[in-house]
Chain A
Amino acid sequence: MAKGRSLGLSRKKQLYGVLFVTPWLLGFVLLMAIPFFQSLQFSFHKLTLNSEGYSLQYVGLENYHNIFFVDAWYVRTLTDAVIAMVLDVPLIIFFSLFTATLLAQKFRGRMLARAIIFLPVVLASGVIAKLDNGNFLAQMIGAASTDLEGNYSGLRSIELRPLLLEAGLGINIVDYLTGAVDRIYQIISSSGVQILIFLAGLQSISPSLYEAAKMEGATGYEAFWKITFPMISPLILTNVVYTIIDSFYDNGMTQMIQDAAFGRLDFGVSSAMSWIYFLVISVILAISTYWISKRVFYYD
């Protein structure tokens, strides 16, 4: 390639690069950056809507004081959301890795099984779950229990609990495991995308690695821990991040932020709530990313 021409082309390409990114950049400035700082600004103000827009009145840290020391529910709801996330993420990751390993194998009806397991991703989970909460019959028919979490999977862990306790496991671990069994539908339905990502990763591992291991006499179990697991560990990081973000997208906390803004028209408090929420999410993401990325194995 001639030097002069390539320079001209690369200059042109840079210009087009700016042009191509412009719609996004415009959107980012108008719909993300400005609202982002406005929201921070609102959180220190009292916002009142009037006919020709809105007016702000500086109140300092009052909104933050309100949510931490006056509002009885904010801290509790936030802790609940975080605890639910911490409990669910390992289960979802474990379950999706396990299912992906199963689905990566060749067997008859594999496409059908994949199609069914991916179904929960496609079907509206939020709205449906809300409807089912008020749906007594679905609960009665499904679980035949007084469970309030909309658990209609028909699976109960009644037998499992004494069994595990007899085996000498700690009560906390037993509660965690049986709780997981009781929420199996929820866990399955929120691990669809993760299964897909793991599946794609499993299929990208070169078969020659397994062949070599087999020649050396490795069992399937060893091959999983010594080949599959390290090769797939970068995707565990991806999936953990995805799962954390996904779990914070719609929960009691987001509902509360929304209610504060459009139920009580307390826009300042709502902004303050959402900022604390955002900071908590960022800290959790930063810690978990740092913690996992130190343990991840990169092949190349």
Chain B
Amino acid sequence: MDTSPKPSKRRSPSAAAQAAARWYDTHAPLEKAKRWLWIFIRTVLIVGICFIILYPILTKLSIALRDKQDMFDATVVWLPRHFTLDNIKTVMDYLKYPESVTNTLLLSLGTALLQFASCALAGYGFARLKFWGSGILFGIVIFTIVVPPQTIMVPTYLHYRFFDIFGLFRLFTGKDGVNLLESFWPFFISSGLAMGLKNGLYIYIFRQFFRSLPKDLEEAAYVDGAGVPGTFLRVMLPNAVPAIATVVLFSFIWQWNDSYFVNLFAPNYTLLARMLDLLPGTVRPEYVGGISHTSLYLNTGTLLGILPIFILYLFAQKYFVESVERTGLVG
């Protein structure tokens, strides 16, 4: 009788400890706590970063939909009390919105397609069709990325002001070249010759991508009797969709957002970037009745400026985000 409780007594703490140890092993509270803490911190950080990015856009949206009297109402913080689309209509008039969006769309689409064509050709040439000196030429491509456009700004401007190829035009007509400013030609010519905005980067992307494709693909095509252009068009390009998507999307976006070249080559053309540049002058406080109204219109203008790209982004978001991963730019 007196021996039986002893072992049980002895057993019970050890059993409890064992149970605790077993429970600790299976549930691992410390590890779990660490993990949950990390998840918590991570969520806070990511939500915080997203908030910083979205905050100005949400503010603008809220302001753009407000009636003027809400501007002076301290109780209106996010949701407007007098909901209105008048601001948007007014600013659309100022920006000549339909015309400027159409023009910008044509310009961006045209340059994107031309840049895609010229850069894909050059990229494939550098990747797979090596010839004597192609290494040096590719080095030059990298060099063109580094040269700021301002360095060649003045000669380029004069070049398009008195456009002439090797003096041929002068030879036939006797005039001093054509004035190509105030048209889309400067953009299209430089894009077609792979000298547009950041084209060195696109050539680099295409070269990296074509290099990463297996050589067997081409060889199979050659064995089947396809020539070099046929192989490029029918075998290599369909396999290069990620790189194409990246280049076309980026060149479209960067052309759309560019105001530098637009101001240089087509300073009086109705393009969105230029109309936005002019907006602060059009809606000065003296003309529209006070600083708050100016501000209202500027906010609405900014919103309208980013709207088309935002819509595009909603649909093509996947391609943007996955673009760099899939182009083989890395590694």
Chain A residues with CB under 8 Å of chain B are: 9, 12-21, 23-28, 30-32, 34-36, 38-39, 42, 47, 52-54, 99, 102-103, 105, 107, 111, 113-128, 130-132, 134-138, 141-142, 152-155, 184-185, 188-189, 193, 196-197, 199-201, 203-204, 235, 245, 248-250, 254, 257-258, 261-262, 267, 270-271, 274-275, 277-278, 281-282, 285
Contacts and interface: CB of A to CB of B under 8 A. Distances in A.
B28 interface: no
7 contacts: A16-B228, A24-B195, A115-B321, A134-B298, A153-B52, A153-B56, A200-B331
Contacts of B129: 13-14, 16-17, 20
A120 B53 contact: yes
B173 to A, nearest CB: 13
B167 interface: no
B279 interface: yes
B52 A188 contact: yes
5 nearest A-B residue pairs (beta carbon): A27-B193, A17-B129, A20-B125, A137-B295, A35-B155
Main secondary structure of the interface of A (DSSP, over half): helix
A28 B148 CA distance: 14
Contacts of A204: 330-331
Interface residues of B, number: 100
B270 interface: no
A187 B52 CA distance: 11
B66 to A, nearest CB: 11
B125 A197 contact: no
Main secondary structure of the interface of B (DSSP, over half): helix
Contact of A127 (B190, B277, B291, B313): B277
Interface stretch (B6-14, B15-23, B302-310): B302-310
A21 to B, nearest CB: 4
Contact of A20 (B56, B59, B124, B157): B124
Nearest to A248: B148
Contacts of A201: 330-331
